Amino acid sequence: MFKLSAVTPQRVMFEKDIKSLIAPGELGYLGVLSNHAPLITPLLPGKLEVTDTNGKKTEYFVSGGFLEVSKNVATILADAIEMPGEIDVERAKAAEARARDRLAHRTDPNIDVQRAELALQRALWRLKLAPADLVRGR
């Protein structure tokens, strides 16, 4: 068991004791258990999976950010962390369309391709993690 704090600029998402954590690290998904070696790593947009002390798994969308692990405390700092039911599906669909449009014009010197690719990743992960009944018609 170890403590996890997940923080965004808008709120403290949660602070609780957990059994394990799987996060989208820069080099791939990584798992964290109690007594993990100290670590600081960037996070990419993706699925954050938290297993509580009773073994219940909960999924969240994380927009990217940083994960720090030290002395049985894990801290996630992210621009956004959302439970699947909190995801604004229409906003995610619109963001996907905008990103795809920008990427279709990637040779335009005014297009920031890296930014458009990250926006597309965030939108696709939000749509993947949102409840299926909200995403229908996509």
30, 31, 35, 39 alpha-carbon torsion, rounded to 10°: 20
Which amino acid is residue 33, in one-letter code? Answer: L
pTM to 2 decimal places = 0.89
Task: Specify whether the CB–CB gap between 33 and 50 falls below 8 A.
Answer: no
- Average pLDDT value for the chain: 94
DSSP 71-105: TTEEEEEES-EE-GGG--HHHHHHHHHHHHHHHHT
Which structural domains are found in the chain, ordered by start?
2-82 (2.60.15.10), 87-135 (1.20.5)
Q: pLDDT for 49-69, tens place per residue?
A: 999 999 999 999 999 999 999
Q: According to the model, what pLDDT value does residue 132 have?
A: 85
pLDDT (mean) for 84-105:
96
